[in-house]
Amino acid sequence: MPFNIGLSGLNSAQADLQTTGNNVSNAGTTGFKRSRAEFGDVFAQSFGGVSQTATGGGSRLMAVTQQFSQGRTEFTENGLDLAIDGEGFFVMNDGGNRVYTRAGEFQVNREGNLVNNQGQQLQGYPPINPGSTDTDFNTGQLGDLRLQTGASAPQATSEIEALVNLQSGAVPPEEAFDFDDPDTYNYSTSLTVYDSLGTSRDARLYFVKSEDGREWDAHIRVNDGVDSDGNTTYFEGGPFELDFDPNGQLSSDSDFNFTTGDFENGAAALDIDIDFTGTTQFGGDFAVNDLGQDGFASGRLTGVDIDSSGVVFARFTNGQSSVLGQVALANFTNPQGLEQLGNNNWAETFAAGDPVFASPGTGNLGQIQAGALEASNVDIAQELVNLITAQRNFQANAQTISTADQVTQTIINIR
């Protein structure tokens, strides 16, 4: 009997050593969770026996449980590296099967999908309005997160906002307005607009003071192309009448419409609303306080940003951005019940409970830290102490067997 007790102790100490050694060997593994060996005593008692005189039968390994405490966050230079600050797991598609991980080392495969180093695809929620900046997602549909690698579509100019100060002391021109004669207008300013194909075009606004001291006419000209004789052609609009009150504030309508024809490059006609709201007639010099428009050219992908709520944004050379999706996280009632698959993956089990999918930062789920990875939660100093303890336990149980052997030898040697 003492041999069996000592042997059970050796087996328990060996399991403790293996568990601790596995923790030490994975101290540098991203997202690894340390394990703990848990033991129970062996207590055998026959029917009708007296428990007060039972000596016990040794020990045995009850379970090896993982400890899901937070690992430290280590920042990297890769924007696609993701760390979960709090509870939750990344959801991965492994050939049609869902697996779960805390390791956020992601990259882009040839199809544009976000994958880990095993080729498993990161799961997320698709945007309701793809290509826009709306952060509304279809949270009832999990799918592969895919990055847009093509060009961003252009947007034709539909609005111009012009906020200027027209000098009240300006002298009205003597001749009728002519776009090509600077003596027939008081001031001009220009900006770039874009057609439906994303081609940039010069738009120029002209301001002409009327004989009435509080009235101005505005005109606009947008270049079209070059004709067969090499001359630049234009689309022209106006006049747009701007009336001011004695305090220099605009008193007439401030919104006007300007429509071009189809452009020579095949782009559709522009239908532009010109808004002069805020334009003044003060005694100061002519000044352009604000001049903008809402069009832009096409753009190439320059980078991807992921915010703390897991929203994935694509950035383009035209200064625009679009939402590509949102990273989904999963959580379980009992994470310790998950089945370890190796390669930093877990699988759901009955003991773990049903997975709950949601957006990062909602409920009890943690937030996403982009450009960072969650390190192992192994404390090397503590594990080295555990190794010493397990070694002492192994030696002590070996001594139990040695002592039992000596006692047995003594009994055998009795004459």
When pLDDT is cut at 50, 70 and 90, the band that residue 318 belongs to is confident
When pLDDT is cut at 50, 70 and 90, the band that residue 62 belongs to is confident
More confident residue, 364 or 47: 364
When pLDDT is cut at 50, 70 and 90, the band that residue 235 belongs to is very high
- Give the C-alpha separation, 273 to 157, whole Å: 9
- Give the C-alpha separation, 65 to 28, whole Å: 19
Predicted confidence (pLDDT) per residue in 108-166, tens digit = 998 889 999 999 999 999 988 877 777 788 888 899 998 876 778 899 999 999 999 99
Q: What angle do CA 317, 116, 333 make, to 5 degrees?
A: 115
Residue carrying the six token digits 């605009």: 250
Give the pLDDT of residue 148: 72
Out of 55-59, 97-101, 183-187, 320-324, which region has the weakest mean confidence (pLDDT)?
55-59
46 pLDDT higher than 70: no
User: Rounded to whole angstroms, what are the CA distances from 368 to 78, 303, 323, 328, 332?
Assistant: 14, 18, 16, 10, 18
Give the pLDDT of residue 1: 56
Predicted confidence (pLDDT) per residue in 203-213, tens digit = 999 999 999 88
355 pLDDT higher than 60: yes
User: 2-25 and 380-412 are packed helices; what angle lies between their axes, rounded to 10 degrees?
Assistant: 160
When pLDDT is cut at 50, 70 and 90, the band that residue 399 belongs to is confident
- Is pTM beyond 0.75 here? no
> In angstroms, how far apart are the furthest CA atoms of the chain?
143
Give the pLDDT of residue 44: 67
Which amino acid, residue 10? L
More confident residue, 280 or 77: 280
The per-residue pLDDT of the chain, averaged, comes to: 89
Give the pLDDT of residue 287: 96
- Give the C-alpha separation, 55 to 69, whole Å: 38
Structure tokens at 151: 């060009």
pLDDT (mean) for 224-247: 91
252 within 8 A of 241, measured Cβ to Cβ = yes
Out of 11-25, 121-135, 215-229, 399-413, which region has the weakest mean confidence (pLDDT)?
399-413
- Give the C-alpha separation, 274 to 193, whole Å: 12
More confident residue, 415 or 85: 85
> Where do you find CATH 2.60.98.20 in the chain?
159-288
- For domain 159-288, is the CATH number 3.40.50.1460? no
Give the pLDDT of residue 92: 96
When pLDDT is cut at 50, 70 and 90, the band that residue 3 belongs to is low
When pLDDT is cut at 50, 70 and 90, the band that residue 6 belongs to is low
- Give the C-alpha separation, 274 to 262, whole Å: 19
Q: What angle do CA 368, 371, 375 make, to 5 degrees?
A: 75
404 pLDDT higher than 80: no
